[in-house]
Structure 1
Amino acid sequence: MGDEIGRVAVHLDSLLDQIQERDRQLREWNEELNVRVRERTRDLEHANLKLEATTKQLIMSEKLAAIGEITAGVAHEINNPIAVMQGNLDVIRSVFGADADKAKVEFRLLDEQIHRISQIVTKLLQFARPEEYAGYVERHAPASVISDCLPLVQHLLNKTEIAVVRDDRANRLVLMNRNELQQVLVNLIVNAIHAMPDGGTLTLHAFDAEHDGHQGVAIEIADTGIGMSTEVIEKIFDPFYTTKRRQGTGLGLSISQTLIERQGGQITAESRVGSGSTFTVWLPEAA
């Protein structure tokens, strides 16, 4: 009897060991399954984020394409009456002959305003189809271009207590259309001024710098203003994104990025809330 009970006890112990082993295996399988589920969930979330980002990019591309077509159409429509106006103005001068000198000032003002309209139309076409209207590319010293930009924003600087600090150390030249480079720098300077409504320091720093093994020039526009959060930094180069609400179109930085990248350069931003922002434009050295 005792032997039988012993055999039963041994058998029960064996069954218990098997049950415990099976339970351990089931727990391991369950944990492995949970890990796989978590990994698959992360993959799906990542894929979903990429899909959302791609969708937003497509929507923005469609908007920009539509605006580009409309802008180009409007610009061409304006060009026709401008040509007629200029042509008739020349005819009137020819008909009046020497008497045209009596209205010399008025004729000059008309010529200037027609030229101004023509320049605006050209800018619209450059925005709509930049690959067709890139303009003449020249070699420039960054310090010279920065000097040309400051008078254009002086009226904004006069409205607040902002000290301008120049640090021109770049010895290399950059290859870019001067007006386009001015457009980019003025946009960045204006943004910096707007970020310092109570005053501060605007630092313009140009220096020789390498990027991915290529020699070039970096131009930093730094302010001591309100700064930006990480979330804002991630979006500032997106078309139509703006933090100015009723002011601005949200296209300034997007267009600036396009102009710089078209020349093989890049534009980046660093910022912290309450600690100001620094935008860096890097362009390859002119060959």
Structure 2
Amino acid sequence: MMPEINVLYVDDEQQNLNSFKAAFRTRYRVFTAVSVAAAMDILDREEIHVLISDQRMPEITGVEFFKMTKEQYPHIPRVLLTGYTDIEVLAEAVNQGDIYRYITKPWDELELHNSVLNAYDHYKANRDLREKISELQKANDGLNRFVYSLSHELRAPIASATGILDLVKMEGKMDDSGEYWKLMDACIQKLDYYVSQTVQFYKTARFKVAQEQIHFEELVRSLIDLYRTSNGTKGIRFDVSVEEAHVFYGDVFRIEIVLANLLSNAIKCQRSGEPDKKVVVRIVTADDGARITVADNGTGMDTAETEKIFDPFFKGAQPGGLGLGLYILREALEKLNGTVTVDSRKGEGTVFEIYIPSNPENKG
């Protein structure tokens, strides 16, 4: 049994519409329209599987009609009937996806029938694909919410364990049990870092971009102060220069993620034997956006590593970490329409160049 196929045929000549309906009314559910307005009314009311139009109509050409309907009804295959050969128009329409197929008039009934069947198969395949994508999106959203909730719930026991260790440190008992307290402290810090990265990734992927005025000097200084509270910055010199001659508007949440991950990466990549460890930060705002440079004289990377650093879970030769920092940075930049380039030399250091466009018209 053939499936019920809804076909809409648009033509300014009523005789052609009648001929089409007479030929195919037993094969499909046929809708006809003598004008664009009538066709749009049918498209609004009915689920059309295949759209057919004559090319030469008084108010609009068939290709122009297809272009008009493409944006609102992109999933409907469009078949053009043309009584004359206009190769340039047809080639452009095919290349731009405005038509699925064209057939010359007078049409061959078998050719037109096969074209409708093929177009319907195309419509059905696209519909099935959209349904699968929707199902996968729902499953992915559910998984993301679960991971976020789990990570969020882990924060409480981590905070409790950290509090206990802080008491042990305050009472000077870290060395009472050999290396056990220190080992526990290191494990809890690593777990806290993993959880923080997971939450950060979720927020970067899901939260909407919000525009507000950004104060880079204040933002960078606060992040550096935060990192200085850990032992990882001991002996590192921070050289910061910020020129904010132009007001910059952007998403402070994602810009902070970008800067935090750049600084974290520069700190982790320091060489233990380097006598002058340094991280150089340069930020300049202009009319069009902000340019950020973060450089270090650390371990550096070879070309093979540089090509993979933005891949999720790629750790390279650096110890520790989850391998998500630079991946999250790139995800955040995509939301900001920003770009990143990296120049690195093994044993010499790494330079990250970031560009983020300003967006004052969308400020909150």
TM (norm. structure 1) is 0.54
Secondary structure, counterpart of 2:288 in structure 1: strand
Q: Which runs of 5+ in 2 are unaligned?
A: 1-137, 156-193
Other-structure match for 1:140: 214
- Structure 1 residue 73 displacement after superposition: 1.9
Secondary structure, counterpart of 1:221 in structure 2: strand
Q: Which runs of 5+ in 1 are unaligned?
A: 1-64, 83-119
Identity of aligned residues (%): 25
| Residues 228 and 272 in structure 1, CA contact (< 8 A), matched pair in contact too | yes
- Structure 1 residue 231 displacement after superposition: 0.9
Deviations 1:216-269 (A, max 9, x none): 111111101111111111111111111256511211111111111211111221
Deviations 1:17-72 (A, max 9, x none): xxxxxxxxxxxxxxxxxxxxxxxxxxxxxxxxxxxxxxxxxxxxxxxx98864331
Change (3 A) 1:69 1:160: same
Secondary structure, counterpart of 1:165 in structure 2: strand
Identify which of structures 1 and 2 has the higher relative contact order when contacts are C-alpha pairs closer than 8 Å and 6+ apart: 1
CA RMSD between the two structures: 3.4
Secondary structure, counterpart of 1:171 in structure 2: coil
Instruction: Please say which of residues 188-197 and 128-137 is displaced more in the overlay.
Output: 128-137
| Residues 214 and 252 in structure 2, CA contact (< 8 A), matched pair in contact too | yes
Deviations 1:86-129 (A, max 9, x none): xxxxxxxxxxxxxxxxxxxxxxxxxxxxxxxxxx9998566336
CA separation in 2, counterparts of 1:266 and 1:187?
A: 15
CA separation in 1, counterparts of 2:237 and 2:307?
A: 28
CA separation in 2, counterparts of 1:121 and 1:147?
A: 24
Other-structure match for 1:224: 297
- Structure 1 residue 201 displacement after superposition: 1.3
Other-structure match for 2:335: 262
CA separation in 2, counterparts of 1:79 and 1:134?
A: 20
TM (norm. structure 2) is 0.43
CA separation in 2, counterparts of 1:130 and 1:170?
A: 26
1:208 aligns with 2:285: yes
Secondary structure, counterpart of 2:259 in structure 1: helix
1:136-285 aligned within 5 A: 136-156=210-230, 159-198=233-272, 199=274, 200-208=277-285, 215-243=288-316, 247-285=320-358
State which structure, 1 or 2, has the greater radius of gyration over its C-alpha atoms. Answer: 1
| Among 116, 124, 146, the residue aligned to 1:73 | 146
Change (3 A) 1:160 1:68: farther
CA separation in 1, counterparts of 2:354 and 2:227?
A: 19
